[in-house]
Structure 1
Amino acid sequence: MSLMQNLPPASSIDRTDDPATYDARDLIRNGIQAHIVLDGQTYTLRITRTGKLILTK
């Protein structure tokens, strides 16, 4: 089961000034990369060897 399946639809999320906070390592469980989908477009989030994040389409 992916993390995205656990999230409510974007239209039902309350908009507040307090943004959600996630630890990148929780999103990237295999230690390499995670796919993030937004409006049907898939993005890849990965952690580099030096501990930086890269998000690509």
Structure 2
Amino acid sequence: MGLMQHVPAPESCNEADGTVTYDAEALIPNGVKAQIVLGGQTYILRITRAGKLILTK
């Protein structure tokens, strides 16, 4: 099973500039954190208790 199988469908896509919109709660179904891999490096996306997003390496 590949990593991308867990990525939800985007809510929308702006055809003009290619911007894709995702709901953060859909990306983080457990409500705490998700790992994002880019170029072999792993980043952590967290939802704080205050409802803010934090992306760390």
TM range (shorter): 0.7 to 0.9
User: Where is the helix percentage greater, Structure 1 or Structure 2?
Assistant: 1
Aligned alpha-carbon RMSD (Å): 2.0
Amino acid paired to 1:55 = L
- TM-score w.r.t. length of structure 1: 0.72
> Would you say how many aligned residue pairs link Structure 1 and Structure 2?
48
* Offset of residue 5 of structure 1: 1.7
Equivalent position of 1:54 in the other structure: 54
Amino acid at match of 1:50: A
Corresponding residue of 2:18: 18
Aligned to 2:13: none
How much identity, in percent, do the aligned residues show? 62
Instruction: Give structure 1 stretches of 5+ with no counterpart.
Output: 8-15
CA distance in 2, matches of 1:18, 1:53: 22
Equivalent residue number for residue 13 of structure 1: none
Aligned-partner residue type, residue 29 of structure 1: P
Structure 2 gaps, min length 5: 8-15
